[in-house]
Amino acid sequence: MFGKKRIYLDFASATPTDPRVARAVFNAMRETYGNPSAAHAEGRRAYDLLEQSREAVARSFAIKPEELVFTSGGTEANNLAIRGLVEGLRTRGARYAELHIVTSSIEHSSVLETLHLLEKEGVVVTYVSPDKDGIVRPQRISEALKPNTALVTLAHVNSEIGTIQPIAEIATALASHESVLSRFAPETSFPVLHADAAQSPLYCEASPHILRASLVSYDAQKLMGPKGVGVLYRDFSIPLSPLYGGGSQERGIRPGTENAPTIAGAALAFALAKEGRKARAIQVSAVRDYLVELVEKKVPSAELMGSSVHRIANNAHFVIPGIDGDYLAVLMDKEGIAVSPRSACIGVGAGASRVVLSITGDEQKAKSTIRFSLGPFTTKSDVEKATDALTRSLAVGVQ
């Protein structure tokens, strides 16, 4: 493949950095090197850049700057939302065993692994199954609620199969629920709704007010921003405790010196994601649909996973019986095509998709997955080359 142009179709794992964003980060690193907490001129300049960036992100979602907490990425934002709420309630007298959380069985590992750790502490967690299209129905969430349900945590867009969950409808289902937890936090409406919106902003409206969620996680690296910057929206009524000690930064919720230059780049990326979102989604979904058509024509056994209607514009996730997803991704890589068998956070060689296993109950299908996730500049020519590479790789992989 030396000398041939590679085709990157793994935008769900990480996106290239927009050149405008890269320039913004470079300029800020060169000109704004002080510690935002320092009192001298260089520190004040860094603090001003930090707060200007916070205001810019807030404008892109029509929320208040004070409601935003900067983190190291989407994983930390999810951890802070989930464990931060649990620990916030514990500081007010609640015991782990008195708290109940509802989630789905197809969440990102940063959510599921956090919940598994909390279960070891005594928190009770209910895992709701999606339907065959990968949609978590509000009725199933309602049926899982208990009087002591503190939190419902769900991804707005599933990171593997791209299904868009009805978060606002779920919020409606939660509104009438009666809770016994108000004695610990009378200012809070329980259960709290947390939405992991890391995959959303390039193609979907994902403002907390539209989602009607009190906690929302975002990740700059998923929208052509720099890696290492996450954002947590937190309604003022939600009691959060920091996950670790060290300082009073981010209103005492997330200690540690803020990386003002990369946060400035992230702020620009969020603003750019908002611009032309609707047109971008239409354009990319047309290319995605063409990809699906080609795969289904060239590989008749391929099965598209997840809803074809309630799906983010850039995702096409297939089960191809008889293949090993990890091996297929390696073969595609040798062909110059970057794809992934599943969410990157699960790790290389993880063996099976928990999402597909949860939906189908079929372990062989869960091992036979491949995910194409397109970008704003992916062309029909790119997907034609990718599907040609897919057929060549399958010819090798099934021998």
Tell me: the pLDDT tens digits for 66-80? 999 999 999 999 999
**Cβ atoms of residues 82 and 234 within 8 Å:** no
Question: Residue ranges per domain, the chain?
Answer: 7-17+277-397, 19-274
**Cβ atoms of residues 356 and 22 within 8 Å:** no
pLDDT value for 227: 97
> How would you list the strands of the sheet with 303-304, edge to edge?
303-304, 315-319, 369-373
Q: What is the pLDDT of residues 229-279, one digit of tens each?
A: 999 999 999 999 999 998 889 989 999 999 999 999 999 999 999 999 999
Neighbours of 83 (CB within 10 A): 20
Q: What is the pLDDT of residues 325-353, one digit of tens each?
A: 999 999 999 999 999 997 655 545 557 89
CATH superfamily entry for domain 7-17+277-397:
Aspartate Aminotransferase, domain 1 (3.90.1150.10)
Q: Region 217-239: what's the mean pLDDT?
A: 97
Q: What is the pLDDT of residues 122-157, one digit of tens each?
A: 999 999 999 999 999 999 999 999 999 999 999 999
345 is an active site residue: yes
**Cβ atoms of residues 261 and 269 within 8 Å:** no
**Cβ atoms of residues 69 and 250 within 8 Å:** yes
Report which of 316, 312, 309, 313 is spatially closest to residue 292, judged by C-alpha positions. Answer: 316
Query: Please, what CATH class does the domain formed by 19-274 belong to?
Result: alpha beta
Q: pTM for this structure?
A: 0.95
pLDDT above 90 for 163: yes
Two structure tokens written together for 320: 């191809």
For the chain, the straight-line distance linking the first and the last C-alpha, in angstroms and rounded, comes to 22
pLDDT value for 122: 98
pLDDT value for 246: 85
345, 351, 358, 360: the active-site residue: 345
Burial profile 261-298: b = 16 or more Cβ within 10 angstroms, e = fewer: bbbbbbbbbbebbbeebeebbebbbebbebbbebbeee
